[in-house]
Amino acid sequence: MAEIHPGAFVDPDADLANDVIVGPGAVVEAGVAIGPGSRIGPHAVLHRGTTIAEQVSVAVGAVIGGAPQVLKFGGGESGVSIGPRTAVREYVTVHRCSEPGGLTRVGADCMLMATSHVAHECVLGDGVVLANGATLAGHVTLADRVFVSGHAQMHQFVRVGHLVMIGGGSKVLKDLPPYCVADGHPARLFGLNTVGLRRAGLDAERVQAIKEAYQTLFGAGASLEAALASLDRLGRNGNPVCAEFAAFVRASKRGIARPGRSGGQALV
């Protein structure tokens, strides 16, 4: 049977696994589902429509599934999904979708550090880290293992590729291609996330393919159309990362960030 502190409120229509722990002052509304091994800290609030997977920790004062901060929001059922083994730290806010039936999604093995914010319709992949105070506007998509440093700000509908590292306090207005480092106001690219690539355990052949793709896309003097044609050619010749970069760029609706004045060459 779940261990629920006498000072907590858990609606009878919430679905809690037998070993869930709910701390004092926490509120768990009807329709919430919490998986095995998860812990809900003091004064956390889980709103209707929230699904918490196994071994998730929700710290003091976090609010998950609250109404989206959208002026046109007219109500309706929507929710939030938090993946396995994710840590939601102190006073984090994750809002449900603005469209009925939708889910704001946070993947597995993520860490949302204190006071970070995930807005409506956001989708976070596995292993994503939001450092303290990082803020995602609505409809932001982060691929697996993206690291967003403290107090960075993400514009609506921005897409961020796999293993991107975003510097502290950055203002991200355009899409960030995979494997890159981004920083600044607005955020620009400063080469590849070499530390992240190494920590991810990518072999030398894969890293070389990533370098080739980056240099092809952002080579000196090349137009975007010419760079995409070169990526296509290299992809057909056996570099799968070139195809990944080309597909990411072609799918962009906001445009992609470009290298800063340094060109990022020191980090490639």
**Range with the lowest mean pLDDT among 16-30, 100-114, 225-239?**
225-239
Q: How far is CA 201 from CA 8, 32, 163, 194, in A?
A: 43, 37, 12, 11
- Long-range contacts at 138-141 (CB < 8 A, ≥ 24 apart): 138/68, 138/70, 138/98
- Tally Cβ neighbours within 10 Å of residue 87: 17
d(CA 62, CA 72): 25
pLDDT digits (tens, 9 = 90+) for 175-213: 999 999 999 999 999 999 999 999 999 999 999 999 999
Averaged pLDDT, 168-173: 98
User: Which pLDDT score, from 0 to 100, does residue 267 have?
Assistant: 40
pLDDT digits (tens, 9 = 90+) for 42-86: 999 999 999 999 999 999 999 999 999 998 888 889 999 999 999
Averaged pLDDT, 1-14: 96
Averaged pLDDT, 123-148: 98
CATH superfamily of 198-267: Udp N-acetylglucosamine O-acyltransferase, C-terminal domain (1.20.1180.10)
Residue 268 has pLDDT above 90, yes or no: no
Report strand pairing: 180-184 vs 187-192: antiparallel
Residue 263 has pLDDT above 70, yes or no: no
Both tokens of 96, joined, read 């449900």
User: Which pLDDT score, from 0 to 100, does residue 222 have?
Assistant: 74
DSSP 3-state of 130: strand
> What are the structural domain ranges in the chain?
3-139, 198-267
What does the DSSP 8-state code read for residue 209? H
**Range with the lowest mean pLDDT among 54-63, 147-156, 227-236?**
227-236
CATH superfamily of 3-139: Hexapeptide repeat proteins (2.160.10.10)
Mean confidence (pLDDT) of the chain = 94
User: Which pLDDT score, from 0 to 100, does residue 261 have?
Assistant: 61
